[in-house]
Structures are given as structure tokens and as C-alpha cells.
Amino acid sequence: METCYCVSTILVVEKANSVASASEAVASAAETAAIDDLPVYSREQVSWHANSESCWIVIDNLVYDVTEFLKQHPGGAEVLLENAGADCTEAFKDTGHSGAARQQLANYLVGRLPARKLTCSESIN
Ligand code: HEM
């Protein structure tokens, strides 16, 4: 059955998938509601911020400006600069960042990618 989801539903589902536990999901409910209001940047626009002067990254369809964080990142500036202007969702998750690290993300949130429509094969019904 073909299912059509509105933009905010997709974002809520993707946000829910990105949090690690039910309590985190509850805690992030208000945050999720605000996600729709964030500025929208295309992947191309994000790619313009790919150096130490302006370093943006994408994690779970959200855009983070980590320029100020480069010198503070416990994993070093290098790994962030390697991913500057790009989607580093997998790299971020593969590193096994702690809950504290995931909470820190909110400090650098500047926008989101355009919501995409789910294809039939992605339908959850
Ligand atoms: C805004 C984005 C990020 C934040 C807030 C962040 C935060 C942190 C924090 C707090 C730690 C210390 C360990 C922990 O608590 O998990 C850490 C470690 C680390 N991070 Fe990140 N991180 C970010 C992005 C990334 C990205 C994109 C990568 C890789 C591409 C990365 C790679 C690493 C590595 C390799 C370590 C381990 C350092 C070590 O144990 O020697 N981080 N990060």
C-alpha cells in the first residue's frame, strides 16, 4: 500500500530513530517540535562550509556548525575537518559517541536538510 507522510512526520520519525532510548525520545520531543522551524539548507549549501573558517557537518539530516567546536572536540579537529561540509552520520555513530556527546550536538545545531518524501519501499505500513 502506498503511504504518504507529511514533512513533519518524516522528520519526527527520523529524529526518533536517531535517539538511543525511550527517555531520550521523550526528552527530545520539544526539540523535535522545533526542528520544522529550523533554517533549511541543501547538501550543496552545506558543502560550502568545508574548512576551519566555517565547518558544517550533517548528522541524521540535521546541520551543525562545529567551527567553534574544532579546538574542543576530544576526538580532535582533524576528524571533523575530514567530514567538513559533508554527511558524517555513519562516522559519528560508528565512533560510539556517549550520551553526553550526543547531547552536545544541540549546541551546534543551525539547520536541517530539506525533508524528503518516503518512497513506497520505505513505507512503514
Ligand atoms: C558536533 C559533533 C560532535 C560532537 C559534539 C562530538 C563529541 C565528542 C565527545 C564528547 C567525545 C568524547 C567521548 C564521548 O563522550 O563519546 C568525542 C570523541 C570522539 N569523536 Fe566526536 N563529536 C562530534 C563529531 C565527531 C565526528 C563527526 C567524528 C568522526 C568523523 C568524531 C570522532 C570522534 C572520535 C574518533 C572520538 C574518540 C576520541 C578518543 O577516544 O580518542 N566525532 N566526540
| Residue 1, in any domain of the structure | no
Over residues 100-113, the pLDDT tens digits come to: 999 999 999 999 99
Round to the nearest angstrom and report the end-to-end CA distance of the chain.
7
| Residue 80, in any domain of the structure | yes
| Residue 60, in any domain of the structure | yes
Domain total for the chain? 1
Tell me if 102 sits within 8 A of 20, measured CB to CB.
Answer: yes
Low-confidence ranges of the chain (pLDDT < 70): 1-33, 117-119, 122-125
Structural domain range at position 51: 7-122
Q: Is ligand 1 within 6 A of the CB of residue 84?
A: no
For residue 23, the model assigns a pLDDT of 53
Give the CATH number, domain containing residue 109: 3.10.120.10
For residue 10, the model assigns a pLDDT of 43
| Residue 17, in any domain of the structure | yes
Supply φ then ψ for residue 114, to 5 degrees.
-60, 140
For residue 34, the model assigns a pLDDT of 85
Over residues 63-77, the pLDDT tens digits come to: 999 999 999 999 999
| Residue 29, in any domain of the structure | yes
| Residue 2, in any domain of the structure | no
CA of 92 to the centre of ligand 1 (A): 7
Detail the DSSP E strand segments found in 37-108: 50-51, 54-59, 62-65, 86-87
Q: Is 78 helix (H, G, I), strand (E, B) or coil?
A: helix
For residue 31, the model assigns a pLDDT of 66
Q: Is ligand 1 within 6 A of the CB of residue 56?
A: no
| Residue 22, in any domain of the structure | yes
Which protein residue has the closest C-alpha to ligand 1 atom 39?
Answer: 75
| Residue 21, in any domain of the structure | yes
